[in-house]
Chain A
């Protein structure tokens, strides 16, 4: 009892730091829109200094503004794609587990089908089919990433259905709705939220990847993938800051999302209540 600073509080602290960082990037991105596009040839190719902490590029654009703007676009794409994906996974998972054998067979078959095709290939196909741009990337990432969460939810519901306490609740005269809300939701919600949050970094990395390869967003949008692929051309000439800082920021963002998900999972688990 003496030591009030327990592991649980450390988790909350990291969670708050990660969320604040992500929120700051998102909000910062809104104000950087013009700054990220403004060119000024009087200040091109400046190495990182106090005025331009991330340096400037060959068109004299402030790399800090571009990085923040790029990340905020990535985060928005990540959030949209992950939410879309997770909701789809949830619905299909529950349908598969509760609507009988035929539904289960069909959903499982679709999951296997999507999983059988390499992510990147399917992603590129969907992006190209939708026309390059925001819509294609979001749809592509969402349609390729729902499978594992859907499997998880399906398994969880199937397992819950057989639990003695659920059967007992039924014998105590509880309705299906009551059982779903009171008994199943406390088990499914943490899985769902954590699954959702852990999808963000995936979505962001794939968005950057596909944009880097040239199938994603168009060149006018300073997404992180665009910044990185453009920077590649100038890396040889010694302008290391063009790729280094956006790259590091991307990694930090992904790590932040990951920490958020992991810490949420631990906080929502009553078994860890006394850590």
Chain B
């Protein structure tokens, strides 16, 4: 599958500052594309647009030539957020969070190192790294074709980072899921990605 954006322009109305202008990118599901840019250059905004959270002022997002809306209610491009504690409902137990994904494999949950004991806990009773695993599991549902990873391991220790990235590389290659990796860290991007794109103003 091919994820494409053409001539993307975007600005947040209240600020009036243009974040993206005439940006184009095309990524195949066999690739892992790394995106590097300093703070405030619209990396997160780009992810939000690609996964349909924000609508661009001009330009379009196409997955295999079709817009995201044409794929129905489940968005095949899923985004994993930088702060997992904001991406899970504090009043839901973790097993309900997992259930939200699209028929998530129990094998996948095991491979991510999620312990059965965590399922009955509330998000406040888990650490950031543990929560992020749940968010990854939830995003990797059956119908997911593209994964956007927005600084997903920035706050984790090196061992956990390497566990998560090894898992993600293996899983996305096995299922032919494309990946877009956003990070501040050029070394990480160099290790994980097959191609690097720099975001300029």
Binding site for B on A (CB under 8 A): 163-169, 171-175, 182-183, 186-187, 270-271, 273
Whether A163 and B91, one on each chain, are in contact in the complex, defined by CB atoms closer than 8 angstroms, is no
Whether B122 and A165, one on each chain, are in contact in the complex, defined by CB atoms closer than 8 angstroms, is no
Once bound together, how far apart are the Cα atoms of A173 and B72, in whole Å? Answer: 8
Query: What number of A-B contacts does a CB cutoff of 8 Å give?
Result: 55
> Which one of A163, A168, A171, A172 has the greatest number of beta carbons of chain B within 10 Å?
A168
Majority-rule SS of A interface residues: helix
Whether A164 and B81, one on each chain, are in contact in the complex, defined by CB atoms closer than 8 angstroms, is yes
Which residues of the other chain, A, contact B138 by a CB distance below 8 angstroms?
168, 172
Whether B92 and A186, one on each chain, are in contact in the complex, defined by CB atoms closer than 8 angstroms, is yes
Q: With A163-B86, A167-B53, A182-B96 as given contacts, are A173 and B75 in contact (CB-CB < 8 Å)?
A: yes
Please give me the 8 A-B residue pairs with the lowest Cβ-Cβ distance, nearest first.
A173-B74, A173-B73, A186-B91, A171-B75, A165-B89, A164-B86, A270-B122, A164-B87
Report if B183 contacts A (CB, 8 A): no
Which residues of the other chain, A, contact B28 by a CB distance below 8 angstroms?
none
Q: B interface, how many residues as a size bin?
A: 20 to 34
Q: How far is the CB of A111 from chain B (nearest CB, A)?
A: 26
Binding site for A on B (CB under 8 A): 51-53, 72-75, 78-79, 81, 83, 86-92, 96, 100-102, 122, 124, 138, 141
Which residues of the other chain, B, contact A183 by a CB distance below 8 angstroms?
89, 92
9 contacts between A and B (CB under 8 A): A164-B81, A164-B83, A164-B87, A169-B100, A171-B79, A172-B101, A174-B100, A186-B89, A270-B122
Q: With A163-B86, A164-B81, A182-B96 as given contacts, are A171 and B91 in contact (CB-CB < 8 Å)?
A: no
Whether A171 and B81, one on each chain, are in contact in the complex, defined by CB atoms closer than 8 angstroms, is no
Q: How far is the CB of A34 from chain B (nearest CB, A)?
A: 49
Whether A182 and B72, one on each chain, are in contact in the complex, defined by CB atoms closer than 8 angstroms, is no
Once bound together, how far apart are the Cα atoms of A173 and B73, in whole Å? Answer: 4
Q: How far is the CB of A270 from chain B (nearest CB, A)?
A: 5
